[in-house]
Structure 1
């Protein structure tokens, strides 16, 4: 029997395994972004993030010095130097090299190869080379050499320094603080307004209360896209324009229906005796609200704060409509990421760092307040 006391059914184990698999499925991309954000561009292109802690082999295309640096030694014209120093690449032991892209591992360190123009080149393990020719070499650029190098694990903070503290247009520091400027007020304002409205709908008797509750529930299904243009015209007509105030009010309006609905459901479930006793003791409605209802409603307030913070932090559409700034002074992170995808599409280290910076704050907020999430969402579902 599966229901014998002290034993677990097979269904319980299946649920546990499914939860673990789902958590791993969502966790792997996040871990990948975190690891990639600390890696260099060469390591990202050479191996996956799961190999970040082991030495990896990668193929590099390096060049010798230009023919203008050749010197004559007797009957030979010679160019000597180091391939890594010439290209400004971090040195790594060379395990194989070649002069043709079709066979990049044709030679071993110390071997000498003959090139198409008759030149002879010798490459050593540390990247030192000697290129010699019997006739004077011509051209504007050096010869290409394809090397296979074993690179040790390397992690750097340069990606974060570039994004957060760079003064260039691609720096994310300004966009990060702009996003905080939008998100924090856009989270606090609807909570304050919705808390007052939810208390009135839950514990105050007045004509039309049922209709207001039905109206709030109906607003939950209205797509915000329908209100963008009319709301923008209203802002322009009353002089708000496109700025922080406009985007705060827009997020407040779009978030209020859910906030009122969640908070009202939670407040209705609070013990009636506490509120009636407070009224008998002479407490005003405002005192009841601030000293009894708000402290008891913290789980619902926290659950909505999580949702509102995540929505406003990850928002692009509302910011595009109500916060357009050609100078970049009010650009939020989501818009900046879109710009980076167009200008830095090949720089995976920058994109990985940008993505992790954009999700780091929401993750911190979620894990700090997640214990209140379920309690707030299930409010009013069980009597």
Structure 2
């Protein structure tokens, strides 16, 4: 029975891991596929249909009457609604927005005053009129077309070769790396002290750290900025510096870091600490030579969390670093590429995939320590 339960437990773990792998991988795959699609196909169908033809309804105008020709007593305007370099299959067309698929492809539609419009499956059209066509604008036409799958790197060219993208990438690394290392260094010392050192007010400090976990960033952002600006003005330090944003991210990340690291460090075997003390080791020597090497899994776990948070941050970066060309981080630069009204929305998935490349690399580099670091503190007694 015990063996059967063990096998069932292993299968349960494998299925749970598989579920979370799929849950995490499918959206990432969707972002990757969508980033190579053009805007019309993104609107018309989901990424899972990227390898099949998609049907979409579009609107356009025929060429202006200057290109009309007279033939057999009628004035004709001919061409292709797909335009140069494009292709597709017209399923239906119409001349009114209320009914864009009123006529089947190849049918002849009566427009007005004896004029007719015919749109074929290949996109070729013929506008015929008994009188000369007038006006400065072409006839409005709506059509439903089936287009073959199409992939493009245009979105990546727009993002990767835009002016200032390289500088913003360096800015993000300059912000993220120190803002990940600094809180780890501070929190490791604090976590050891709260876990193994006895001093007055220790329980109150632990309660304060736990309480700070629930303080929203938005609530503390403005008071922290005012405090930093006041201290900076007193010492003559500029307001918008990397030091400011490092300190801000350190402050926001410390409560979780101390809580996570303390739970792990408190679960380390007491015998190791006592043996070291008997051998004459100080608290600092115990921390550096014993605790830190044993705590690498939990340090790596927090590093992943902190790196992801800081790398994807936009709000704190805009407040403490600014939005100038020389200070803009990668998320801010990609947001600026969308335009003030989001007109270039098709680069969203491309931007998203570019921004997650570095965090993915960090995660896979440290992932073997991730689960072990998160779980170790919860299964050992403190």
TM-score tier (shorter): 0.7 to 0.9
Deviation digits for residues 286-323 of structure 1 (CA, Å, limit 9, x no counterpart) = 55544433222111101111221222233344234323
Moved more, 40-49 or 334-343: 334-343
Instruction: Give the C-alpha shift of residue 48 in structure 1.
Output: 2.1
In the other structure, the counterpart of 1:69 is 67
In the other structure, the counterpart of 1:349 is 346
Aligned-partner SS, 2:228: helix
Q: 1:298 aligns with which of 296, 299, 305?
A: 296
Distance in 2, matches of 1:228 and 1:100, equals 53
In the other structure, the counterpart of 2:190 is 197
Q: Is the 8 A contact 2:264 2:295 kept in 1?
A: yes
Instruction: Give the C-alpha shift of residue 191 in structure 1.
Output: 0.8
Q: Is the 8 A contact 1:44 1:348 kept in 2?
A: no
Instruction: Give the C-alpha shift of residue 164 in structure 1.
Output: 2.6
Q: Which runs of 5+ in 2 are unaligned?
A: none
Instruction: Give the C-alpha shift of residue 141 in structure 1.
Output: 1.7
In the other structure, the counterpart of 1:35 is 33
Instruction: Give the C-alpha shift of residue 66 in structure 1.
Output: 0.9
In the other structure, the counterpart of 1:145 is 141
In the other structure, the counterpart of 2:161 is 165
Pick closer, same or farther for the CA change 1:108–1:179 going to 2, 3 Å. same
Moved more, 205-214 or 236-245: 205-214
Q: Is the 8 A contact 2:100 2:144 kept in 1?
A: no
Distance in 2, matches of 1:176 and 1:304, equals 23
Instruction: Give the C-alpha shift of residue 285 in structure 1.
Output: 5.6
Q: Is the 8 A contact 1:186 1:248 kept in 2?
A: yes
Within a 5 Å distance, the mapping from 1:200-215 to structure 2 comes to: 200-203=193-196, 212-215=205-208
Q: Is the 8 A contact 1:178 1:332 kept in 2?
A: yes
Residue 123 in structure 1 maps to residue 119 in structure 2:
yes
Distance in 2, matches of 1:268 and 1:83, equals 71
**Structure-1-length-normalised TM-score:** 0.80
Aligned-partner SS, 1:378: helix
Pick closer, same or farther for the CA change 1:92–1:224 going to 2, 3 Å. closer
Q: Which runs of 5+ in 1 are unaligned?
A: none
In the other structure, the counterpart of 2:77 is 79
Within a 5 Å distance, the mapping from 1:1-383 to structure 2 comes to: 6=4, 28-73=26-71, 75-85=73-83, 90-101=86-97, 102-104=99-101, 106-109=103-106, 111-167=107-163, 175-203=168-196, 212-237=205-230, 238=232, 239-275=237-273, 288-325=286-323, 327-335=324-332, 343=340, 345=342, 348-381=345-378, 382-383=380-381
Moved more, 15-24 or 131-140: 15-24
Aligned-partner SS, 2:126: strand
Instruction: Give the C-alpha shift of residue 185 in structure 1.
Output: 1.7
